[in-house]
């Protein structure tokens, strides 16, 4: 049966960083809804253009667009073993839609690591984040700097600061998270799949804790 792991946590918790570290170890493709939207924007697709207005304001892209996009992505052959989801679901309606789609693949949400980071830490993390143009690899100017300034260690592409990582938009995104996404914590707790990980630890320690929690949930 396929295995589905859903990373939850506020913007800046370290979901993307951790997904990049554990995806190969779990043998699951890393599916980031934000990365897919940004890729669509780069390619100037209709979806990308529709999503951009919401993203730049720090608001959520409407559920119908987001759900259709993820459904298409999860149907591709590389998701046969399952997927490591980063940034989806972000609303209760998306979580319900995910359950329904996974049922069609004879699977379900197996583990939901919640990377817990207090709000006060998030702003500094996001305003110091640098992202790679080619593949979305993430760095932090203080906490996880690249070897060469402005260049991705993994693929040599240029690093840039996301438009929505400006302080003002970050504040909005955190508020949107608290209102619309945080209810998923209780939702997945009730389903018996939630596991909390302390996201304030060094990146490597968070990875160790995450892998242990996921192994326990999927054994």
| Angle at the Cα of 194 from the Cα atoms of 22 and 137, rounded to 5 degrees | 30
41, 48, 54, 161: residue in contact with ligand ADP (rule CB under 6 A): 54
Is residue 8 classed as helix, strand or coil in its secondary structure? strand
User: Which region among 56-64, 72-80, 104-112, 183-191 touches ligand ADP (by CB under 6 A)?
Assistant: 56-64
Report in angstroms the alpha-carbon separations of 165 from 81, 124, 140, 168, 170. Answer: 33, 10, 12, 8, 6
30, 73, 90, 137: residue in contact with ligand ADP (rule CB under 6 A): 90
As a whole number of angstroms, the distance between CA 183 and CA 84 comes to 20
**133 labelled catalytic:** no
Is residue 9 classed as helix, strand or coil in its secondary structure? coil
- Decide: is 203 part of the binding site for ligand ADP (CB under 6 A): yes
User: Which region among 7-15, 23-31, 105-113, 209-217 touches ligand ADP (by CB under 6 A)?
Assistant: 7-15
- Decide: is 139 part of the binding site for ligand ADP (CB under 6 A): yes
User: Would you tell me how many other CB atoms lie within 10 Å of the CB of residue 181?
Assistant: 22
Q: How far is the CB of 219 from ligand ADP (least distance, A)?
A: 25
Q: How many residues bind ligand ADP (CB under 6 A)?
A: 37
The H or E element that residue 111 is part of is strand 109-116
- Decide: is 82 part of the binding site for ligand ADP (CB under 6 A): no
Best CA proximity match to 13, nearest among 34, 28, 41: 34
Footprint on this chain of ligand ADP (rule: CB under 6 A): 9, 11-17, 33-34, 37, 54-55, 58-61, 66, 87-90, 94, 125, 128-129, 138-140, 143-144, 164, 173, 199, 202-203, 206
């Amino acid at each position: 049966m396929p295995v589905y792991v859903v990373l939850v946590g506020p913007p800046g918790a370290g979901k993307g960083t951790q997904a990049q570290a554990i995806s190969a170890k779990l043998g699951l493709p890393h599916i980031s809804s934000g990365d897919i939207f940004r890729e669509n924007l780069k390619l100037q697709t209709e979806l990308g253009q529709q999503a951009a207005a919401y993203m730049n304001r720090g608001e959520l892209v409407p559920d119908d667009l987001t759900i259709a996009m993820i459904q298409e992505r999860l149907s591709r052959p590389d998701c046969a073993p399952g997927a490591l989801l980063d940034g989806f679901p972000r609303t209760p309606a998306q979580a319900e839609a995910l359950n329904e789609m996974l049922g069609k693949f004879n699977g379900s949400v197996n583990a939901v690591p919640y990377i817990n980071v207090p709000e006060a830490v998030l702003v500094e993390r996001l305003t110091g984040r640098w992202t790679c143009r080619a593949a979305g690899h993430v760095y932090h100017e203080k906490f996880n700097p690249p070897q060469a300034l402005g260049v991705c260690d993994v693929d040599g592409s240029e690093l840039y600061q996301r438009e929505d990582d400006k302080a003002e938009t970050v504040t909005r995104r955190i508020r949107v998270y608290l209102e619309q996404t945080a209810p998923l914590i209780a939702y997945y707790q009730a389903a018996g799949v939630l596991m909390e990980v302390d996201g304030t630890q060094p990146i490597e320690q968070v990875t160790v804790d995450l892998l242990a929690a996921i192994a326990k949930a999927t054994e």
